[in-house]
Chains A and B, each alone.
Chain A
């Protein structure tokens, strides 16, 4: 006589295993990892119900146990995405400071480059134009400007003291 197999909970086991494996694949993808908690929990519930049915009728439990284990691991991985998201958010908070530091660095570099660059200074006053082209550094330029102005003005405010004269100072970096 043919032995009749008792397959109670087998369908639930298959459903749990399929859901668990899909959860396992989804859980590691950060974009959808958090959503995978839902099928993970569904798989755990299916496997648990199937296991209780199978144990009552002493039917095979291999698929059910496999489904349950994979579902638990997948749900844990999926849950861990919350912590990953939290850490990324923390890093994101530090970004404004980093950006500010980068801007400061760039500003410093540009200022330094301008100081050492070849410059052309144009001064316009009542139709008269004076143009200074020099290869010298900032200090030399200031000295030349002082000489041009008669040496009466001080180094720092040599340009500012000539209020009546409209000045256009163009500083260009030359190759």
Chain B
């Protein structure tokens, strides 16, 4: 009896997993959201792992190497690490735009989670949801990266 019950449970579990897989395969929006949430968490992990005191960041500025001049994004990793550690004032000193870029990533993480939940709960509004996501994320992106965009189009 117990064996039969276990078999039933196993079969049900397998079916649920398969359903989930099929559902995910048919929902590129969810895959993209999950992936981006992972990337953003990795960015935060990177900021937390590398220390601003030890200065052991693996990424060096290519711009500075080519031109010998510091660019607008120099000190961004330092800034992120300091924000993660709660030292916001110091973060501003390293890069004045660090905070807004960090907030962009934080907002995106929240948006990915919230929109995924809405996407699953309200299937009728999926198209509108994706449209709002695209426009909203685009606006947040422009606001956050505006100084860098200006830097590109003004020619440094």
- A-side interface residues toward B, CB under 8 Å? 5, 7, 10, 13-14, 17-18, 21-22, 24-25, 28-35, 63, 77, 80-81, 83-85, 87-89, 91-92
Contacts and interface: CB of A to CB of B under 8 A. Distances in A.
Interface stretch (B7-15, B65-73, B86-94, B115-123): B65-73
A92 B67 contact: yes
Contacts of A85: 63, 66-67, 156
A83 B155 contact: yes
A35 B68 CA distance: 18
Nearest to A63: B28
B62 A89 contact: no
B152 A34 contact: no
Interface string B27-38: 010011001100
Contacts of B107: none
Given A18-B35, A22-B39, A84-B151, A30 B73 contact: yes
B50 interface: no
A77 B152 contact: yes
**Size category of the binding interface on chain B:** 20 to 34
7 contacts: A5-B26, A14-B32, A21-B36, A28-B145, A31-B71, A31-B74, A33-B152
Contacts of A5: 26
B41 interface: no
A81 B66 CA distance: 11
Contacts of A18: 32, 35-36
Nearest to B68: A92
B32 A17 contact: yes
